[in-house]
Homo-oligomer: A and B are copies of this chain.
Amino acid sequence: MTTSNQPHSYGAMSRTELEALEITLVQKYDEIAAAKLALDLTRGKPSSEQLNLSNELDGILKGQYILQDGTDVRNYGGLLGIPEARALGASILETNADEILVGGNASLTLMHQYLAFMQPIWKQECPEGVKFICPVPGYDRHFTLCEHFNIEMIPVSFNGQDPDLDQIERLVQQDPSIKGIWCVPKYSNPTGTTYSETAVKRFSMLPKISGDNFRIMWDNAYAVHHLSDAPDQLANLMALARHHDTNDSMVLFGSTSKVTFAGAGISFLGTSREKLGEFEQHLSETMIGFDKVNQLRHVLFLKDMSGIARHMARHAALLKPRFALTEKILSKYLAGKRIGEWSRPNGGYFVSFDAIPGQAKEIITLAANVGVRLTPAGATFPYGLDPEDRNIRLAPTFPALDSLQQALEVFVVCVQLASVRHYLKS
Report which A residues bind B (CB closer than 8 A).
Answer: 43, 45-46, 48, 51, 54-55, 58-63, 65, 72-78, 104-106, 108-109, 112, 116, 141, 144-145, 147-148, 257, 261-264, 285-294, 297
Contacts and interface: CB of A to CB of B under 8 A. Distances in A.
A350 B116 CA distance: 33
Contacts of A285: 144-145, 147-148
Contacts of A291: 104-105, 263-264, 291, 294
* Residue picked from A77, A286, A292, most chain B C-beta under 10 Å: A286
A112 to B, nearest CB: 4
Contacts of A292: 263-264
A106 B287 contact: yes
Given A60-B58, A264-B293, A51 B72 contact: yes
A45 B76 contact: yes
B74 A63 contact: no
6 contacts: A48-B72, A51-B65, A55-B65, A58-B293, A105-B288, A263-B291
A105 B73 CA distance: 13
Given A105-B104, A106-B288, A285-B148, A261 B59 contact: no
Contact of A261 (B43, B148, B261, B293): B293
Contact of A286 (B48, B74, B109): B109
B264 A73 contact: yes
Contacts of A145: 285-286
A73 to B, nearest CB: 7
A22 to B, nearest CB: 38
A240 to B, nearest CB: 31
Contact of A74 (B59, B76, B141, B262): B262
Contacts of A106: 287-289
Contact of A75 (B51, B60, B287): B51
A75 B63 contact: no
A60 B61 CA distance: 12
Given A74-B263, A263-B73, A264-B294, A288 B45 contact: no
Contacts of A62: 58-59
Contacts of A262: 74-76
The interface centre, meaning the residue of A61, A76, A109, A147 with most chain B CB atoms within 10 A of its CB, is: A76
Contact of A264 (B60, B74, B261, B263): B74
Given A104-B291, A112-B286, A287-B109, A55 B63 contact: yes
A156 to B, nearest CB: 23
Nearest to A66: B48
A2 to B, nearest CB: 45
Contacts of A104: 104-105, 291
Nearest to A293: B264
A270 to B, nearest CB: 20
Contacts of A46: 75
Contacts of A76: 43, 45, 257, 262-263
A58 B61 contact: yes
A286 B257 CA distance: 16
B55 A290 contact: no
Nearest to A295: B264
A257 B76 CA distance: 9
5 smallest beta-carbon distances between A and B, as pairs: A59-B59, A264-B293, A74-B261, A112-B286, A148-B285
